[in-house]
A = this chain, B = another copy of it.
Amino acid sequence: MGKRGDPMARSNVLELISRHQPGHPLDQGFYQSEDIFETDVDFLAQRWMLVDHESRIPESGDYFLSETGADSYIVIRGRDGAIRAFHNVCRHRGSRVCLAPQGHSKLLVCPYHAWSYRLDGSLKSAREMGPHFDPGDYGLREIGVRLLGGLVFISPEGDGAAFDQEFAGFGDVLAFHGMSQAKVAARRTYPTAANWKLVVENFLECYHCLPAHPEYSSVHSRAKLEAFGAGTGSGDPAAVARFQPRLEEWEQRTRELGHPLPFYEGDHTTQHMAQLARFPISSDDRVSETQDGELGCSRMMGSFAESDGGQTAIAFCPTGYVLANCDFAFMVIFRPLGPLSTEVDALWLVDGDAVEGEEYDVGRLMWVWDATLKQDKKITENNQRGVLSRGYQPGPYALSEVRVNTFIQWYLHGLSELLARDPCLVP
């Protein structure tokens, strides 16, 4: 009836999980079923989702909305300066409280019956509720918020301690990149008619880069892509060996400059399958991820005095990533909206003091990833169309799709855990 908690749907999911063939993509059902999509939303609700940069809400009362599936969350800065998040649902009869995607307000007033909530979510006033009504029982339903290097994460049901532990090592690198002092130079949305898992799978491998992304390949160079296109372990040994001299030269210079060389890779049993690493952008001496290899912003970010030609790649969760150069950073977030609909939100960040037009040009910053995300939208939608066909049969992953395979294991592992905990499972 309600879409959530239908016991039959869940037992069918378990059967599909048991049929999965390791080293292969998922069965058709995972990429189209309404029931599985609802379970996926439950699954993601227990994890922490990167949603934006905190510079979007600098002042007390500033807020923005973050949406997943049919769910809307208010992320708002309180009078105490802290950021909190709430279900965007009035506790009276369920109206959305905030309607605009972002705004500023001293009080959150529901547009329906004017129940008003303070910035900390507590109910301030509700008319005509009678003597037995205790406003303390009817604050907005709060969800978890975590900040890390200026990045905002929310989680409806996640464990904050697990977040703090899993991302403990990420703060220093984000600080070196000055992410807390960044501002958003540009943002763009790429609505994609595909299941969110296909969008993630596409982002976790660079096997498709040479055929599908000419701009990206020209910037990152064939030699680099073949060796480390999707990170450590994604290239075949011969390509890695060919790239070794360039890598060593880059690592030596990076150490000399005192720049970080972090490395972390969560496996499929971790909560977020996080990743953190630095690589040279290319086999050549380009200093940033721009068309011509020159800086995209003349004001460096954080502690960078000069470029080492490297890029820090961070996966916070399969739905949120940051790729940080010395001068600007790119951030991408995948928002599952429905079984066949995902919103891809991209942000480009520069130092908070950088002056547009003088120190950076938005078109130059966006060049490679805007082109790449437009291409990703098309290839992922073609993938979805094929996956919906009677002719679809999951094939073997290539060597460089190792991280996609980890994602599939991570997803099935987490889904099994979720379903095992759910009492509805008992037939």
Contacts and interface: CB of A to CB of B under 8 A. Distances in A.
9 contacts: A1-B33, A1-B35, A87-B390, A94-B393, A96-B385, A112-B212, A113-B207, A127-B398, A141-B391
Contacts of A382: 95-96, 99, 111-112
Nearest to A126: B398
A112 B379 contact: yes
A396 interface: yes
Given A16-B2, A379-B111, A72 B211 contact: no
Given A208-B112, A211-B113, A387 B1 contact: no
Contact of A395 (B3, B32, B33, B91): B91
Contact of A130 (B35, B126, B395, B399): B399
Interface stretch (A22-30, A328-336, A358-366): A22-30
Contacts of A89: 386, 389, 391-393
Given A2-B16, A25-B93, A393 B113 contact: no
A13 interface: yes
Size category, A interface: 35 or more
Given A383-B112, A386-B94, A2 B25 contact: no
A163 interface: no
Contacts of A161: none
A128 interface: yes
Interface string A96-134: 110100000000010111100000000000111110010
Given A29-B1, A211-B114, A389 B70 contact: yes
A62 interface: no
B16 A1 contact: yes
Contacts of A33: 1-2
A393 B379 CA distance: 39
Interface string A385-424: 1111111111111111000000000000000000000000
